[in-house]
Amino acid sequence: MAAAGASTVIRRSTLRQQIADALRDEVLAGRLPCGHQFTVKEIAEQYGVSATPVREALLDLCAQGLLDIEQHRGFRVCAFTADDYRAMVEARTLVVEGIFRSTAERALRRASAEVLVSIRRRAEAAERAACSGDLDVLIGYDLRFWRELGSLVGNPYISDFLDRVRVQTWMFAVPLLRGEDDLRGHLWHEHRALADAVVRHDLAAAQRLVTEYNEHSLTLVGERG
């Protein structure tokens, strides 16, 4: 009995995560646009599943700041303003600057070779997508790259915060960037240079590249906002 119960919990938890991941991808791709409203029933019918894992997945996305609960109406994709976006970039800038001042050197010393190799692979994939202007591919690899880089700090609260803010900045930026005919040459593509600086334990170079990335984020959207 215990084994069967544990198996049921695992399957249910996996379905909940799968639905949350799928919906997050829809939001980031702009197929669920900011302000879009929907109900648990609509999503359950769309994916052919019961309401319980859908409701759990939607509440998870609310906790991540991607959705709002609409009283008696269901859920709504969060809509961010240009001021929100600038505040998000400022927040992640301040947090990362604090990391460089306090824990970056110690984090790099304890990073395993396996983790560093994985970060570089993510960097290479993200850079290729950015250089080719492939926004859909870039978003996925960019988020994974920064998530793995953030994990080096060893503080899950900081890592989760930075990941959440980065997802939200993409949510705001994607509709603006979709209006471009060709994004080649416009997207930040120094992922590999940053990964190499991390591998070399070159904190000065890494900090400079992260600063350039944040400045680029503001300029890219500022020109289109």
Look up the CATH number of the domain holding residue 36: 1.10.10.10
Q: Which amino acid is at 46?
A: Q
CA–CA distance, 31 with 56 (Å, rounded to integer): 21
The per-residue pLDDT for 107 is: 84
Q: What is the DSSP string of 38-59?
A: E-HHHHHHHHT--HHHHHHHHH
**Count of the separate structural domains present in the chain:** 2
Same domain, 51 and 89: no
Q: CA–CA separation, 116 vs 45, rounded Å?
A: 42
Determine the Cα–Cα distance for residues 114 and 158; give it in Å rounded to an integer: 22
pLDDT digits (tens, 9 = 90+) for 97-146: 998 888 888 888 888 889 999 999 999 999 999 999 999 999 999 999 99
**In this structure, what CATH number is given to the domain that contains residue 160?**
1.20.120.530
Q: What is the pLDDT of residue 222?
A: 75
pTM here is 0.85
Domain match, 101 and 193 both: yes
- The dihedral through the CA atoms of 88, 211, 202, 115 has a sign that is positive
- Boundaries of domain holding 72: 2-77
| Same-domain check for residues 63 and 105 | no
- 98 and 205 fall within a common domain: yes
- Does residue 39 sit in the same domain as residue 70? yes
Cα(192)–Cα(161) distance, integer angstroms = 23
Q: Are residues 23 and 97 in the same domain?
A: no
Instruction: State whether 186 and 103 are in the same domain.
Output: yes
193-202: b (≥16 Cβ within 10 Å) or e: bbbbbbbeee
71 shares a domain with 50: yes
Interatomic CA distance for residues 3 and 6, integer angstroms: 5
